[in-house]
Structure 1
Amino acid sequence: MTDDASRIRLVQTVLDSTDARKLAEFYRSLLGLDYAEWDAPPPADQPDEHGRDWLVLRTPDGAPQLAFQQVTRLRQPDRPDGPVLSPTIAGAPERHIRRKTPASHT
């Protein structure tokens, strides 16, 4: 019998955005990620076809990390008290990392 956890793996997280390129640029800069080769921004004088659809950011070794999907409008979250993205900052003392606690736990 195999362990189901060994067969399941998270490939990437997808974020909806009304400006996929702008959000991708923010996370690329913040996390030091690279665009998938086909998703790099085009020269300034050319239209950004990929930026109006779907973009993928990868780790420096090429593994998928984040994807951004262009949407016309954002919908309300299903779980307002759901999980919170809490990246770890390498080398930062634990006391300097802010954590958001859901309202029901304050």
Structure 2
Amino acid sequence: MNENNDVHTEFFDTYARALIDRVAAAIADHYAVPALIEFPGQRISVTDADQTESFFAGAFGQYEAVTEVDAVVSVIASTEHSIWADVTWRYHGGAPDERNMYQLVQTDDGWKIAVLTPLTLAEGRPEYPELIYTVIDTTVPRRSAEFYRQLLGYIYRPGDEPGSGADSVDPDWLVFTDTRGRRKLAFPRADRLEPTTWPKPDVPMQLHLDFTVTDTDELHRQRRRAEDLGAELIVDRSDDEDELLYVFRDHDGHPFCFFVP
């Protein structure tokens, strides 16, 4: 999303926090005036911030049991002053999931929601895990990242750019996205790496793949599927509080991971 690549990530992070904290004024602050808010059976043409605040304050009851929310954001299109984002909200605690289309616009007070309209949720759970990016081991992550950035035109995940953070000069892990914010490549540091001799067979090509699944139940189901297909489980972190994870080897010994983001 060109120079606005980090906008949607930061915006929906703070918006989600305002929703979870149930602070109507903070939610309303994310909306432009004027704005259009649509929900099933409701259509509000906002001409005053108090309208937005009142609308969301009146809706808190249906989210009373919600303790956390995950936002799955897909940027459909963007310009210098507008971003169209398809967002699925997955609520933890009882409220049904939701899917909305948002148009964000650049205002004098920053990015705001100009239009919210509901979309139809995808039916059921995905049958298969989703490939989120390819992970390429490297002894010098920044050097490798810069090579592929220039080769492929990908952009850094917000916070991974040179000059961002204490480890920006010598990082241990870097991630690239495409212009819509979808993750494509990651570069973790390896202490030692023997370069491939391919097409000679002495040292074959080496990569591993990371796949996400929606929740713990899906993590276990996909483990069973992988093992049924002949994969070997080599790391079980399914009880890790920070990151639920399985790592497998395929038939040729290449590692791949299933995890809950």
**TM-score normalised by the shorter chain: which range applies?**
0.5 to 0.7
C-alpha distance in 1, partners of 2:206/2:151? 23
**Matched residue SS, 1:25:** helix
**1:49 maps to 2:173:** no
**Secondary structure at 1:61's aligned position in 2?**
coil
Deviates more, 1:23-32 or 1:48-57: 48-57
Q: Which amino acid aligns with 1:15?
A: I
2:154 partner letter: L
Aligned twin of 1:80: 204
Correspondences of 1:1-106 after superposition (within 5 Å): 6-42=127-163, 49-50=167-168, 51-75=170-194, 80=204
Aligned amino acid, residue 174 of structure 2: L
Partner of 1:100: none
Determine if contact 1:11/1:64 at 8 Å carries over to the other structure: yes
Give the superposition deviation at 1:7.
Answer: 2.1
Larger radius of gyration: 2
| Alignment partners' CA distance in 2, 1:82 and 1:70 | 14
Which whole-Å CA distance do the structure 1 matches of 2:190 and 2:205 have between them?
A: 23
Distance 2:166 2:154 in 1: 19
How large is the Cα RMSD of the aligned pairs?
Answer: 3.0
Which of structures 1 and 2 has the larger relative contact order (alpha carbons within 8 angstroms, sep 6+)? 1
Give ranges in structure 2 of 5+ residues lacking alignment: 1-125, 197-202, 208-261
State the alpha-carbon separation in 2 of the partners of residues 71 and 81 from structure 1.
15
- What is the aligned residue count? 76
Gapped regions of structure 1 (runs ≥ 5): 84-106
TM-score (norm 2): 0.26
Q: 1:72 to 1:37 in 2, by over 3 A?
A: same
Matched position secondary structure for 1:52: coil
Q: CA deviation at 1:6?
A: 3.7
TM-score by length of 1: 0.59
Distance 1:81 1:52 in 2: 24
Q: Give the ranges of 4+ consecutive aligned residues of structure 1 lying more than 3 Å apart after TM superposition.
A: none
**Separation in 2, partners of 1:25, 1:42:** 13
Matched to 1:62, the amino acid is: G
Paired residues of 1:34 and 1:59 also in contact (CA < 8 A): yes
* Percent identity for Structure 1 against Structure 2: 37
Q: Alpha-carbon deviations, 1:14-68, whole Å to 9, x = none?
A: 111010000000001110000001100017xxx8614421000100100000000
Identify, as 1 or 2, the structure richer in strand. 2
Question: 2 CA distance for matches of 1:12 and 1:69?
Answer: 12
Contact 1:41-1:48 at 8 Å conserved across structures = no
